[in-house]
Amino acid sequence: MSDPFEVFLMAPPGFETVLADEVREKGFADPKTVPGGVTMQGDWPDVWRANLQLRGAGRVLARFAEFRTMHLAQLDKRSRKLDWASILRKDVPVRVEATCRKSRIYHAKAAQQRVERAITEELGAPLASDAALTVRVRIEDDMCTLSLDTSGEPLHKRGHKAAVGKAPMRESMAAMFLRQCGYTGTEPVLDPMCGSGTFVIEAAEIAAGLYPGRTRRFAFEDLANFDRVAWDAMKAGNTLVQPANRFYGSDRDAGAIQSCIANADRAGVAEWTEFTHAAVSDLQRPEGPPGLVIVNPPYGTRIGNKKLLYAIYGAFGQTMKERFSGWRVGMITTEAGLAKTTGLPFTSGPPIPHGGLKVRLFQTPRLR
């Protein structure tokens, strides 16, 4: 298993090129965009590092085997020939998930059972429907690809947010929207409808150079080839950078502000963040250089009545025009009509699925 293999990094459709930029920036080899994510060639330490360092990936799948299969007996035979002991441990439960598409093997449950039998009979590892380790079997055009989900819980679960609001933005999505806005960690960021503080905390972590996976556990830690010493050394290489700027959040919900403060403290960025209880119309420009205002306001279809939202969007736009000259604005919303209500010079990005809806990033150049 020491030879390079294909690694698949999941991303919401529409974010593939944004994630590929991050993968390239982090020094991974030859990332390529594919529907639903990015592929790259790597080894097991690359898999660990991708889980630890990538902010935009949803999961990291290690594609450890591929072969052509025309019928279930062939799938059974080839699955049994795999060196399961080099990857899985006998004492760690595993689950198998299968999908079949455009193939002579069309029964996903039967394909799943063949691979399960190979693992239990050849290796002796137990099966469990709630196992943290998942082997994914994909049969497409008669080609079987076997992958390990090395992440376990989705990567947007950074491991330090206990309190979330009504309609939370996933951390991985927030990181990609920040990247789309051109944010690199060198300017202040403000979110005037901050909810549980996701944008503010992500921005502060990026500026401080903190690895997003630094406080959580991953499924790959239960693999047979996992090297605890090398992993601890990789995590220890995370050097903190003192941010040059501060990161601001405000919300009209006092409870949300208390959650933000607690979340920022758990994330280790409390000293660089400020959260205040305030309505958008009362928002004041922070001292210091201009930066990025990024906001994920209510959409109407998500929280509340859409008719009541036009006043909120209008007030936000007015505040930006009056007090935030020199700042750039990024807004995530479902409808161009709501964005237009702000009166800001927005251009829009591609649609991104979020909570059963399609949202877009609307962004401005520096406001005059």
The CATH number linked to 177 is: 3.40.50.150
Please tell me whether residues 337 and 258 are part of one structural domain.
yes
Question: Is residue 162 a part of any domain in this protein?
Answer: no
Poorest-confidence range of 51-65, 154-168, 244-258, 349-363?
Answer: 154-168
Question: Is residue 256 a part of any domain in this protein?
Answer: yes
Tens of pLDDT, residues 285-335: 999 999 999 999 988 654 556 778 999 999 999 999 999 999 999 999 999
Please tell me whether residues 101 and 205 are part of one structural domain.
no
Please tell me whether residues 201 and 133 are part of one structural domain.
no
Give alpha helix (H) positions in the chain.
16-25, 44-53, 72-81, 108-122, 171-180, 198-208, 228-236, 254-267, 306-323, 336-341
267 contacts 201 by C-beta, under 8 angstroms: yes
Q: Which domain holds residue 52?
A: 5-149
Please tell me whether residues 109 and 206 are part of one structural domain.
no
- Report the candidate in 200, 159, 344 with the shortest Cα–Cα distance to residue 286: 200
Please tell me whether residues 53 and 127 are part of one structural domain.
yes
pLDDT value for 69: 96
pLDDT value for 166: 57
Q: Is the pLDDT of residue 164 over 70?
A: no
Tens of pLDDT, residues 199-237: 999 999 999 999 999 999 999 999 999 999 999 999 999
Out of 97, 118, 149, a domain closes at 149
Please tell me whether residues 44 and 126 are part of one structural domain.
yes
pLDDT value for 355: 84
Query: Amino acid identity, residue 66?
Result: E
Task: For residues 94-121, give the mean pLDDT.
Answer: 97
Out of 101, 118, 149, a domain closes at 149
As a whole number of angstroms, the distance between CA 184 and CA 209 comes to: 10
Tens of pLDDT, residues 26-73: 999 899 999 999 999 999 999 999 999 999 999 999 999 999 999 999
pLDDT value for 160: 79
Please tell me whether residues 182 and 321 are part of one structural domain.
yes
Please tell me whether residues 90 and 180 are part of one structural domain.
no
Task: For residues 243-247, give the mean pLDDT.
Answer: 97
pLDDT value for 15: 97
Question: Is residue 158 a part of any domain in this protein?
Answer: no
Please tell me whether residues 94 and 200 are part of one structural domain.
no
Question: Is residue 340 a part of any domain in this protein?
Answer: yes
Please tell me whether residues 328 and 270 are part of one structural domain.
yes
Q: Please report, for the domain that includes residue 86, its CATH number.
A: 3.30.2130.30
Question: Is residue 229 a part of any domain in this protein?
Answer: no
As a whole number of angstroms, the distance between CA 88 and CA 119 comes to: 9
Task: For residues 125-154, give the mean pLDDT.
Answer: 97
Q: Is the pLDDT of residue 194 over 90?
A: yes
Please tell me whether residues 89 and 201 are part of one structural domain.
no
DSSP 8-state assignment for residue 87: T
Q: Is the pLDDT of residue 198 over 90?
A: yes
pLDDT value for 2: 61
As a whole number of angstroms, the distance between CA 292 and CA 338 comes to: 20
pLDDT value for 1: 46
114 contacts 72 by C-beta, under 8 angstroms: yes
Domain count, the chain: 2
Task: For residues 266-279, give the mean pLDDT.
Answer: 97
Question: Is residue 233 a part of any domain in this protein?
Answer: no
Please tell me whether residues 195 and 336 are part of one structural domain.
yes
Question: Is residue 248 a part of any domain in this protein?
Answer: yes
Please provide the average confidence, as pLDDT, over all residues in the chain.
94
Task: For residues 344-351, give the mean pLDDT.
Answer: 96
